[in-house]
């Protein structure tokens, strides 16, 4: 394999198809750390109950000290229980967070490995329809949302829910009437929270989509900054990012603005001053009527005021849980994307003969691109694909390295259907070089030998010489040890020649070339063509031609129009036929670099 696994076919991205269903959602994703989360939740609950001990102790101490004959032993027992409650609370809370964060570390590593492993099994063509922002959102942002859920939200939610329930049960035991007075404003807050939660479900999903658009805009701008600046399109590129940012801000304002005022009012209903006022007012009435003693107001004043913080925390952790659920759904959709399956009984191609047999293909039922395409590519020959923009040239070429599977018909290499060849075996037979060159941030030597990591330096330099890039590399500060992006800066044509050297070193019997010399300078283009001609000996070449003069000597030219092969033959024969090829040649398109589909 040539190593150009990152490149896209030059025809551009096909429209995305329908999203597959998510496999199990949040529950399925956090299953590997379920036992740890249960343990953390139990510890959090125990810690929350223990945190009430000091407040209960104050009331019990008041009762004992205000009695006619205080029991000193009981006083010290109550103090000891209060101290023990504090210690138990900190121990349980600290241990719970330690357990949850260890679980979070394991889960993040597990999810990222799982997602990346899944991405590695997807058809290469999938990456032409998914932008980098989508992948970045799943691998980074959505996994981070899992961090908040596992590392913080579970412990905080259990603690925030347990403490109020335990406090109210204790207050119910002390005096059920004062307990009702204490929570008189809570139904208002609860009603608002339920309504707001129901309305936020759709908005959470839209939030993820808006965030994905911003990520895509940022990545697009950063990756294309050189081209943007060179052609004076900085303002337009900025406008795309600004538009995505403005849309995000507008969405957030639309989501949040309607609930700000009601939320402020309802939050005030459960604020410490309001609850304390309710307790003291109701308590004063109860004391005046002789229903309770004044000292009995103490636990309600202490624990009632303490209800506020857990209730607010419940709101935040609830948002975290909903966000994590939406993130899990997006990760689930990614993990549900069908992978490139290897055959149960793989076969090995017997030779380099390539056959397209009545091939149909489309990016969904509404976008059929290729129709009944048949062709034979014989070893040692060059077959060129030509045609107008959108004719299906790059799509047809992308099927040979199995970027996609055909909808109907078959593609065979050495008499074996591509779907019956193991992926690793296929890429030992088929290499590809496209216009969109991607070099990794590693040494030039390692970039060239990506397809053959065991290749020695002599083989690497030989491939570079054949690709006419050896002298360019030797002129770098550290030669072949120079790192791409650091002390190795290549022009478009030079980078293309590095990728050609990679393909030469891979030495695959079948090669797909998308106008491999498109970015080569005039001085080296002829030499590169000579190197490719030598490479063709005993091998099968499929060349996507945007400049017709580069394939005038091809053994076979397939002329595509609207996804069909309308002409085939050699250059001279096609000119005499006076068909589409002759019109393209006469129109001068052999002098124009054209991006085809």
The Cβ of residue 537 has, within 10 Å, a number of other Cβ atoms equal to 8
CATH number, domain containing residue 85: 1.20.1560.10
Residues 472 and 565 in one domain: yes
Judgement on whether residues 479 and 506 belong to the same structural domain of the protein:
yes
CATH of residue 390:
3.40.50.300
28: Cβ–Cβ under 8 A, 6 or more apart, which residues? Answer: 332
Query: Is 508 part of any domain?
Result: yes
Residues 315 and 398 in one domain: no
CA 352 to chain centre: 37
Cα 383 → chain centroid: 37
**Residue 242 near residue 259 (C-beta atoms within 8 A):** no
Helices 154-174 and 34-50, packing angle to 10 deg: 40
DSSP 123: -
Q: What is the DSSP letter of 402?
A: T
Longest dimension (CA), the chain: 122
Are residues 316 and 464 both part of a single domain? no
Query: Is residue 505 within a helix (H) or strand (E), and if so which, with residue range?
Result: helix 492-506
CA atoms of 452 and 502, how far apart (whole Å): 9
Question: What is the tally of structural domains in the chain?
Answer: 2
Helix segments in 289-361, DSSP class H: 298-305, 308-336
pLDDT at 198: 62
* Residue 267, Ramachandran bin (φ over 0: left; ψ between -120 and 50: alpha; else beta): alpha
Kindly compute the dihedral angle of the four CA atoms of residues 107, 109, 111, 114, in this order, to the nearest 10 degrees: -140
Task: Indicate whether 48 and 130 sit together in one domain.
Answer: yes
Sign of CA dihedral 499, 501, 506, 510: positive
- Please check whether residues 374 and 331 belong to one and the same domain: no
Residue 247 inside a domain? The answer is no
The sign one gets for the Cα dihedral 410, 416, 419, 425 is negative
Angular region, 377: left φ>0, alpha ψ -120 to 50, beta rest = beta
- Residue 219 inside a domain? The answer is no
pLDDT given for residue 260 in this prediction: 65
User: Can you give the length of the chain in residues?
Assistant: 597
Instruction: Tell me whether strands 510-514 and 381-386 are parallel, antiparallel or unpaired.
Output: unpaired
Relative to beta strand 354-362, strand 564-569 is: unpaired
Is 57 domain-assigned?
yes
Is residue 300 in some structural domain? no
β-pair partners for 410:
357
Helix orientation angle between 72-121 and 154-174, rounded to the nearest 10 degrees: 150
Q: What are phi and psi of 358, to 5 degrees?
A: 50, 55
**Distance in angstroms (rounded) separating the CA atoms of residues 399 and 50:** 65
**Residue 269 covered by a domain:** no
Judgement on whether residues 322 and 459 belong to the same structural domain of the protein: no
- Structure-derived torsion over alpha carbons of residues 494, 495, 498, 503, reported in degrees to the nearest 10: -130
Rounded Cα distance, 543 and 10, in Å: 12
Cα(178)–Cα(583) distance, rounded to whole angstroms?
94
| Pairing verdict, β 556-561 and 381-386 | parallel
pLDDT in tens, the chain (597 residues): 443 333 333 333 333 333 344 445 778 888 899 999 999 999 999 999 999 999 999 988 988 888 888 888 888 999 999 999 999 999 999 999 999 999 999 998 888 888 888 887 777 777 754 556 667 777 777 888 888 888 888 898 899 889 989 999 999 998 889 888 888 877 877 777 666 656 555 565 566 667 667 766 766 666 555 555 554 555 555 666 677 777 777 777 776 666 666 666 667 777 788 888 888 898 899 988 888 888 989 898 888 887 777 877 776 777 777 778 878 888 888 888 777 777 888 899 988 899 999 999 988 777 889 999 999 999 888 899 999 888 999 889 989 988 888 999 999 999 999 999 988 888 888 988 877 777 888 999 999 998 788 899 999 999 898 888 898 999 999 999 999 988 888 877 788 788 888 888 888 889 888 765 555 556 556 656 666 666 666 778 898 887 788 788 889 999 999 999 999 999 999 999 999 999 988 886 444 333 333
20 part of a folded domain: no
Q: Which residues contact 348 (CB under 8 A, 6 or more apart)?
A: 414, 416, 421, 425
Phi-psi region of 337 (alpha: psi -120 to 50; beta: other; left: phi over 0): beta
Domain that holds residue 157: 25-174+307-336
Instruction: Kindly calculate the radius of gyration of the chain based on its CA atoms and give it in whole angstroms.
Output: 35
Q: Is 431 helix (H, G, I), strand (E, B) or coil?
A: strand
Q: Are residues 328 and 427 in the same domain?
A: no
Return the sign of the alpha-carbon dihedral for residues 435, 441, 446, 450: negative
Q: Contact at 8 Å (CB) between 48 and 163?
A: yes
The DSSP bridge partners found for residue 483 are 443
Degrees to nearest 5, angle at CA 362 with 357 and 363: 145
Quick one: DSSP state of residue 562?
A: T
> Is 438:6 a contact under the CB 8 Å cutoff?
yes
What single-letter DSSP state applies at residue 483? Answer: B
Please tell me whether residues 372 and 328 are part of one structural domain: no
Q: Residues 382, 312: one domain?
A: no
Shared domain for 497 and 538, answered yes or no, is yes
Phi, psi angles (nearest 5°) of residue 540? -115, 120
| CA-based end-to-end distance of the chain | 23
Judgement on whether residues 430 and 372 belong to the same structural domain of the protein = yes
Assigned domain for 30 exists: yes
Q: What is the pTM of this model?
A: 0.60
């Amino acid at each position: 394999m040539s190593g150009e696994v990152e490149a896209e076919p030059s025809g551009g991205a096909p429209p995305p198809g329908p999203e597959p269903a998510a496999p199990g959602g949040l529950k399925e994703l956090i299953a590997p750390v379920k036992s740890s989360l249960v343990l953390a939740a139990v510890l959090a609950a125990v810690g929350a109950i223990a945190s009430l001990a000091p407040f209960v102790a104050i009331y019990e101490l008041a009762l004992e000290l205000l009695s006619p004959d205080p029991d000193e032993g009981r006083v010290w027992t109550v103090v000891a229980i209060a101290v023990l409650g504090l210690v138990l609370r900190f121990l349980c809370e600290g241990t719970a967070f330690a357990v949850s964060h260890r679980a979070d570390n394991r889960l993040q590593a597990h999810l990222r490995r799982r997602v990346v492993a899944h991405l590695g099994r997807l058809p290469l063509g999938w990456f032409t329809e998914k932008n980098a922002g989508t992948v970045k959102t799943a691998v980074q942002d959505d996994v981070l949302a899992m961090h908040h859920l596992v590392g913080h939200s579970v412990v905080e939610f259990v603690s925030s829910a347990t403490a109020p329930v335990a406090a109210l049960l204790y207050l119910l035991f002390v005096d059920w009437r004062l307990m009702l007075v204490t929570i008189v404003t809570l139904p208002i807050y609860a009603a608002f929270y339920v309504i707001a939660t129901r309305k936020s479900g759709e908005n959470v999903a839209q939030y993820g989509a808006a965030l994905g658009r911003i990520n895509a805009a940022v990545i697009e701008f950063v990756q294309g900054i050189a081209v943007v600046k060179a052609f004076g399109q900085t303002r337009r590129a900025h406008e795309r990012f600004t538009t995505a940012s403005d849309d995000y801000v507008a969405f957030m304002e639309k989501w949040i603005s309607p609930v700000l005022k009601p939320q402020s009012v309802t939050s005030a209903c459960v604020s410490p001053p309001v609850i304390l006022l309710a307790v003291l007012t109701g308590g004063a009435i109860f004391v005046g009527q002789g229903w309770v003693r004044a000292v009995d107001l103490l636990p309600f004043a202490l624990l009632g005021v303490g209800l506020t913080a857990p209730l607010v925390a419940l709101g935040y952790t609830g948002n975290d849980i909903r966000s994590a659920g939406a993130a899990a759904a997006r990760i689930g959709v990614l993990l549900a994307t069908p992978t490139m399956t290897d055959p149960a009984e793989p076969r090995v191609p017997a030779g380099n003969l390539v056959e397209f047999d009545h091939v149909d293909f489309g990016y969904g039922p509404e976008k059929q691109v290729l129709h009944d395409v048949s062709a034979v590519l014989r070893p040692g020959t060059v077959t060129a694909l030509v045609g107008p923009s959108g004719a299906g040239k790059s799509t047809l070429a992308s099927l040979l390295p199995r970027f996609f599977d055909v909808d109907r018909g078959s593609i065979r290499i050495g008499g074996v259907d591509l779907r019956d060849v193991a992926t690793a075996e296929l890429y030992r037979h088929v290499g590809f070089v496209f216009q969109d060159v991607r070099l990794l941030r590693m040494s030039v030597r390692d970039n060239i030998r990506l397809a053959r990591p065991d290749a020695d330096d002599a083989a690497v330099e030989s491939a570079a010489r054949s690709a006419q890039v050896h002298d360019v590399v030797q002129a770098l500060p550290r030669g072949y040890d120079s790192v791409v992006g650091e002390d190795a800066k290549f022009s478009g044509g030079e980078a293309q020649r590095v990728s050609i050297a990679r393909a030469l070193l891979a030495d695959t019997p079948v090669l797909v070339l998308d106008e491999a010399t498109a970015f080569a300078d005039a001085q080296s283009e002829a030499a590169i063509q000579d190197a490719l001609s030598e490479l063709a000996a005993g091998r099968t070449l499929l060349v996507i031609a945007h400049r017709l003069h580069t394939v005038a000597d091809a053994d076979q030219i397939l002329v595509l129009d609207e996804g069909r092969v309308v002409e085939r033959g050699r250059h001279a024969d096609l000119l005499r036929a006076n068909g589409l090829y002759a019109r393209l040649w006469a129109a001068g398109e052999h002098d124009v670099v054209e991006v085809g589909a």
